[in-house]
Amino acid sequence: MGFLAPWFLAGLAALSLPLWLHLLKQHRNDPIKFSSLKLFERRPQSSVKHRRLKYLMLLALRLAVLALLALAFANPFIRRSPAAIASGTKLVIVAVDRSFSMRAGDALDRAKREARTVINSLGSNDRGQVVALSGRTELLTQQIQEKPELLGAIATIEAGDGRGSLGELSRTLRSLAEAAKRPVEVHFFSDLQKSSLPPGFNDLKLGPMTTLVIHEIAPAKAANWAVESVQAPRAIGDPKLTKILVTISAYETVAAKKPVSLWLNGRQQAAKLADIAANGRVNVEFMGIEAPYGWSRGEIRLEGGDALAADDVFRFAIERADSRRILFVREARQARSAFYFKSALEATASANFAVDELTPDQTAGVDPAKFAFVVLNDPAYLPEAFVDSLKRHVTNGGRILITAGPGIAGQERVPVLESKVEQSKYASRSGERFLTVIKPDATHPAVARADRLEGVKFYQAVRIDPSNLRLLARLNEGTPLLAERTMGEGRVLFFGSSFDNIANDFPLNPSFVPFVEQTALYLSNADERPASAVVDAFLELRTPGDAAKPNRQVSVEVLDPSGKRALTLEESVKAQTLTLSSEGFWEVGRQSGRELVAVNADRRESDLSVLPKETVAIWQKMGTETGSQSAGGADETKPWSFWWWLALLLLGVTVAESLFAHQYLKAERPGA
């Protein structure tokens, strides 16, 4: 018991007031006429009667009124335990791991059998709740006492494709325990993978008064081979030049040779034998495929039995289409820049581009809208009609890359961009005097994956007026190197040097290829996603073009791997993202066309290594300690005050005191 305002207890000093009224007030007698007192001896007067307390019941009531008043203002409280409130009942939570790794053998069936045993052993006053763990924690029932409903929920649990997370489970258990206000007993049935541990043990804390019982289902060791990853282009032009890189991983295994095959649209295209070391990793490369135009469903299959057969298949989606054309306009003497640009594109596996080279005098009648984007390599003398055509193209959503050199340096303004040319900057190659890049904008796609253009030496650059431009990179002496301008619905990207290996050594730097690749993908609005996604990843349903039409409802149709619609009619118009909840091929239909999305389980689930016994013991101990601490901590933070009960008692005593005082005063009246 305690007091929320203990300083009001000083009011108990007022208890002396009734004592003074009943004991120490002056005694008064009426005077009586008497003869002379000379013959009486003088002595002190003493009266035991006057020192006695009068009206004991009235005194007690007055003392009680003052004491209760002081206690009420002090606001006393007691600590009420949730266990006492629960009247001895408990909540039994049955948590079944149904993550991807529980597909190994009959692990999930055994987990469900043991879970049913726990449900059947519930007491008559106990409540139960069934929880399933996969990519996220699912509450399959409420906190109920009906065993048939709990058993039915366990029967509906099926193996999932998500990755188990003990941190996510612990967060859910904390919430359930705080809401239950009673002792919680958790029975967790799982293979206890190491990969399911959260980054820190603090994420494993459990709720108040929670006891954790672990039921380990998986064996201590289980040999498993898995297709860990597949690197394949999402879009291809010439299928004969397509390269697919496969990584095979082994866990708790001996050295073995495993057949690996490539399948496309249900037909085997190629097969190889992978020599895998014990607990090792090996790469297998397939070169060239026979893919029809449009989307194809690809699979890499690993043959040979192991503990987890579900990870022996890895899916990827690939689209064959005509190469996206790039218009590269250059002067006749500038063939070197075009060579380096084309070589960089050819070195990328994901870019499906073809470059059309034209000189300025060949641009008559050329429609820029027929190309993915346009490159103006140091344009000095472009026909006015072609410049006007480029401006209309950009205004309508087209994109252009402009590189600078001696041609632009001699102009007053940059063609199409219309920025003023200020001066040319030169640095001597002798004595290692050169310019370097500083302060690049790493958020822009052209710079983010190009290692910030570090180590590139620039000897010549053209400075332009940076007004109305977004600066993406500048040289150390202040010259804007990379800038972008939005014009209408399109964009113009300006590079303040050339690609010819004369004004700089950029084409020979490792950052040149990723710069060209990412710039080409950015300017062509190409999809940069990989050929496959992971279960529980989010799929963007809206394209950048949809954002430009806020008043227009754009419908998206999504079919899950079983062929069922994944979105309601309302969601197909309003939803921005979709969770890819299962393995397989998802079909997405937009106004721009059809798309195929391949989804695979997180391959961290392939490592079936279990948690050490020490780690499991620490987790269980954390649950017990957390429960005991929270039981006290919850009472301290939420004390139960009985101020109202004291107030009601004070009211009753005050009424009684008034009645008694009236009765005694009436008895003392003269003549009564």
Q: Is the pLDDT of residue 179 over 80?
A: yes
The percent of residues above 90 in pLDDT, for the chain, comes to 46
Q: Minimum mean pLDDT among 118-122, 187-191, 556-560, 614-618: which range?
A: 614-618
CB 126 within 8 A of CB 89: yes
Question: Quick one: pLDDT at residue 445?
Answer: 80
Stated pTM of the model: 0.71
Question: Quick one: pLDDT at residue 433?
Answer: 73
Q: Which superfamily is assigned to 234-321 in CATH? A: Immunoglobulins (2.60.40.10)
Rounded to 5 degrees, what are φ and ψ at 412? -80, -35
Neighbours of 368 (CB within 10 A): 21
Q: Is the pLDDT of residue 21 over 70?
A: no
Which is nearest to 379 in space by CA: 414, 353, 412? 414
Q: Average of pLDDT values for 640-648?
A: 75
Task: Kindly give the pairing relationship between strand 533-534 and strand 593-600.
Answer: parallel
Q: Which residue has the higher pLDDT, 600 or 594?
A: 600
Question: Quick one: pLDDT at residue 181?
Answer: 79
Dist CA 435 CA 462 (whole Å): 12
**How many Cα atoms within 13 Å fall on the side-chain side of residue 55?**
22
| Fold agreement between 88-220 and 324-523 | yes
Q: Which residue has the higher pLDDT, 129 or 49?
A: 129
Q: Where are the domains of the chain?
A: 2-26+48-79+641-668, 88-220, 234-321, 324-523, 534-596
Q: Is the pLDDT of residue 516 over 70?
A: yes
Dist CA 104 CA 58 (whole Å): 82
Q: Which residue has the higher pLDDT, 31 or 150?
A: 150
Structure token digits, residue 666 = 């009436």
According to DSSP, the residues that pair with 259 across neighbouring strands are: 273
Q: Average of pLDDT values for 456-474?
A: 90
Question: Quick one: pLDDT at residue 668?
Answer: 56
Q: Is the pLDDT of residue 217 over 70?
A: yes
Question: What's the chain's length in residues?
Answer: 672
Q: How confident is the model at residue 39 (pLDDT cuts 50, 70, 90)?
A: low
Whether CATH 3.40.50.880 fits 324-523: yes
Dist CA 110 CA 104 (whole Å): 11
CB 371 within 8 A of CB 325: yes
Question: Quick one: pLDDT at residue 102?
Answer: 93
CB 458 within 8 A of CB 435: yes
Question: Quick one: pLDDT at residue 399?
Answer: 94
Q: Average of pLDDT values for 373-385?
A: 91
Question: Quick one: pLDDT at residue 57?
Answer: 77
pLDDT in tens, 476-505: 888 899 999 999 889 999 999 999 888 899
* Residues ≥6 apart with Cβ < 8 Å to 33: none
> Mean pLDDT for the chain?
84
Question: Quick one: pLDDT at residue 48?
Answer: 46
First to last CA, the chain: 49
Q: Average of pLDDT values for 552-568?
A: 89
Question: Quick one: pLDDT at residue 671?
Answer: 47
Q: Is the pLDDT of residue 311 over 70?
A: yes
Q: Where are the alpha helices (DSSP H) in 524-642?
A: 544-547, 569-574, 613-637
Distances (CA, A) of 122 to 41, 150, 380: 93, 11, 86
Q: Is the pLDDT of residue 627 over 60?
A: no
Dist CA 242 CA 233 (whole Å): 8
CB 100 within 8 A of CB 30: no
Q: Is the pLDDT of residue 220 over 80?
A: no
**How many Cα atoms within 13 Å fall on the side-chain side of residue 381?**
4
Question: Quick one: pLDDT at residue 548?
Answer: 46
Q: Which residue has the higher pLDDT, 624 or 414?
A: 414
- Long-range CB contacts for residues 409-415, cutoff 8 Å, separation at least 24: 409/462, 410/380, 411/380, 414/464, 414/494, 415/376, 415/379, 415/382, 415/387, 415/390
Dist CA 68 CA 56 (whole Å): 18
State the chain's maximal CA–CA distance in angstroms: 155
Of 103-107, 351-355, 528-532, give the range with the top mean pLDDT.
103-107
Please state which CATH class domain 88-220 belongs to. Answer: alpha beta
Q: Minimum mean pLDDT among 76-90, 201-215, 379-393: which range?
A: 76-90
Q: Is the pLDDT of residue 80 over 90?
A: no
Amino acid at 618: I
Q: Is the dihedral of CA 147, 151, 156, 160 positive or negative?
A: positive
Q: Minimum mean pLDDT among 366-370, 372-376, 482-486, 620-624: which range?
A: 620-624
515-535 burial string, b = 16+ CB within 10 Å, else e? bbbbbbbbbbebeeebbbbbb
How many helices (H) and strands (E) the chain has is answered by 15, 32
Q: Is the pLDDT of residue 631 over 50?
A: no
The percent of residues above 70 in pLDDT, for the chain, comes to 83
